[in-house]
Structure 1
Amino acid sequence: MSEDIPIWRIKYLPRNLDQICGREKIKNSLKKIIVQSNFPHLLFIGSEGIGKTTLANLFSKEFLGKEYDANFKMVYANVPLSEEERSQARKEAYVSKSKVGSIAGRRITTPAFIQVKIKPFVQLKALGDTPFKILVVKNFEALGNNQQGFRRLMEKYGSNCRMILITDKISSIIDPIVSRCQIFLIPRVKFEDFRDLIFNIA
């Protein structure tokens, strides 16, 4: 357990959507999606630390059920690749001349982060009975110019994997991606809801 995370925060961390404080409209919308067993790519927008990642994770757990571990992945767009991952990306970017096809002997221009962190997960179909995988990308705006490459993956592998993008800077996300997502504006918890939660804990 990380020493900088208070024990009380771990103890009272919500375990499902119903335990999330307030935000009834958003929770009800996510529950409807779970019942329908289908949804487009999602975009969660809200200020830092407001609970976007918790919402995305708990929604994914309830949607995927027992298939969660095999079909869920979360990546942080603002975390640089390790040297090992960069080396892997360089190797995968070159297509051997011995391969058959028009790209043999050429270099693939897919951004390294997408090539290493995202593509291997989204290009394979879901395991088990779930209709598709779920990929959560936190701090999505940090992809910067690589968002165009990400958009192509959204289009190509959308049937294999739905993506939940998390950001606090929607102005930094390109329109072609925003238009492909159902948008959830995550508000701050109302004082009354927070007060009721504290009373219930006490």
Structure 2
Amino acid sequence: HTHIINLQQPEEEIIASMAQPVRNCYRNYHKKGVTIHQSQNLEDIKYFLELIHEVAKRTGMSPHPDSYFHKQAGSLLPSKDASFWYATYDNKVIATALFFDSKTTRIYAHAAANSTPEYRKLNAGTALLTEAIIDAKHRQMEKVDLYGIAPENAPKNHPWAGFTKFKRSFGGEDIYSGSTWELPLKPLQYWLYRAYQTIRK
């Protein structure tokens, strides 16, 4: 189950299809002192990992080991098939994401944000993702894949309900695949293989 944003339409229509709070954030985030950065420097993974660990500590989730992200980024950044995006406020990184790119598709692979009240109200993660979507449009990609969402007709208390609502607020449509499943025996290698296959298309 994933959520796709069609970029084969005018930029104004892409923005108009987003929820009003998302549009307002996109138009005004810079007035709040938030700056969005894009990087293909592997050293910037430190910002990403710091926030991933902060989210894990706050929520109790078990993130992938750092080596998992290092291998993903290290494999795809040199060929410019991946990029880190991060948002700063007062020179502090408060939101970050790792995207994978093919000629036609930008994949929203991993993301994390600082959730302390001071930073949460800035909605930096929303601004970051909106900028990444518009950037993909400018690069003449066909779509942005926001990746995993809750299953169709999932209850409101589904563990993925929160970020599913977040992803849907950017417009686009849910895509539900059939009942065929693949069980990877080596998850990291499988993920890199899938990313590579997507990028080749």
Fold in common (TM above 0.5): no
Structure whose CA Rg is larger: 1
TM-score after normalising by structure 2 = 0.31
Higher strand share: 2
Normalising by structure 1, report the TM-score: 0.31
Task: Identify the structure with the greater helix proportion.
Answer: 1
